[in-house]
């Protein structure tokens, strides 16, 4: 069973670049999208009502901003879009979807840059991280299989970006942002890609400046995090830089079909 996560940098733009054909050929059971930047009525009809797929969208209140969406071969048993914090909920950054025993979180974590690229949104970003962490903690401690998939907007270690020394003060690689992600990973969550691949040169986002992606001067800021309860079902993880259409590329995990069975979480 394949689960894919992709920041598409605008679903309407992605649709014009062949997203529908990619979706059909992806081999995925679930596709989690971030930065959709569209409301329900703005999503192309052939995607909203695509045969064989269930579609769920959590848009931002602000037009043309943020938003997350799920395509799934089976409808989720339940989907939650809000966490009870108005400032977070207004930005359309979360879907918590239950598929049998699996809790899948599709998250578009905030960038810490303010309007003047001044790191002024880092406090909000950290509050988002902590709110979600505390929301999921009881489920994690109870042993539920949970996957947190999405654009976490943070490179965890120096190996996760091409130019760490030049970006020490850049949002996405500041000490406080990295420490927050580190808190997740030292308290039971597993970075699924690094579980299988310890080596350098693997990135998921590249600046759109000319030649940057071709030279692979990137950042790994997209992740699938697995709870301890999900780890027995994990079979593989990958990054797909060959897939174009966005400044991010898709990432994926392969999991046993049993993860969605009710007995996966007694």
| Active centre residues (catalytic) | 151
Distances (CA, A) of 14 to 17, 40, 64, 208: 5, 15, 14, 15
Which residues face 234 on adjacent strands? 255
Percent helix, percent strand, percent coil in the chain, to nearest 5? 30, 25, 45
φ, ψ at 157 (rounded to 5°): -125, 170
- Residue pair 79/56 in contact (Cβ under 8 Å)? The answer is yes
> What is the secondary structure of 194-228 as a DSSP string?
HHH---S---SEE-SSTTTTTTT-EE--EEEEE-T
Q: What is the DSSP letter of 14?
A: H
């Amino acid at each position: 069973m394949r689960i894919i996560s992709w920041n598409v940098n605008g679903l309407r733009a992605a649709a014009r670049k062949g997203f529908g054909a990619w979706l059909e050929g992806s081999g995925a059971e679930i596709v989690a999208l971030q930065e959709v930047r569209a409301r329900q009525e703005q999503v192309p009809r052939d995607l909203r009502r695509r045969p064989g797929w269930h579609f769920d969208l959590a848009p931002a209140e602000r037009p043309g901003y943020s938003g997350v969406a799920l395509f799934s071969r089976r409808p989720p048993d339940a989907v939650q879009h809000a966490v009870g914090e108005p400032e977070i909920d207004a930005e359309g950054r979360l879907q918590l979807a239950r598929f049998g025993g699996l809790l899948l979180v599709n998250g578009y974590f905030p960038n810490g840059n303010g309007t003047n690229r001044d790191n002024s949104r880092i406090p909000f970003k950290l509050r988002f991280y902590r709110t979600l962490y505390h929301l999921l903690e009881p489920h994690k401690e109870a042993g539920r299989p949970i996957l947190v998939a999405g654009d976490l907007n943070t490179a965890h270690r120096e190996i996760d970006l091409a130019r760490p020394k030049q970006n020490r003060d850049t949002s996405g690689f500041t000490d406080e942002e990295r420490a927050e992600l580190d808190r997740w990973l030292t308290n039971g969550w597993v970075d699924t890609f690094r579980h299988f691949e310890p080596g350098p040169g693997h990135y998921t986002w590249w600046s759109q400046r000319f030649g940057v992606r071709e030279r692979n001067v990137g950042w790994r800021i997209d992740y699938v995090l697995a709870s301890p309860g999900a780890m027995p079902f994990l079979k593989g993880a990958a990054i797909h830089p060959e897939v174009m259409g966005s400044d991010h590329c898709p990432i994926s995990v392969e999991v046993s079909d049993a993860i969605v069975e009710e007995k996966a979480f007694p």
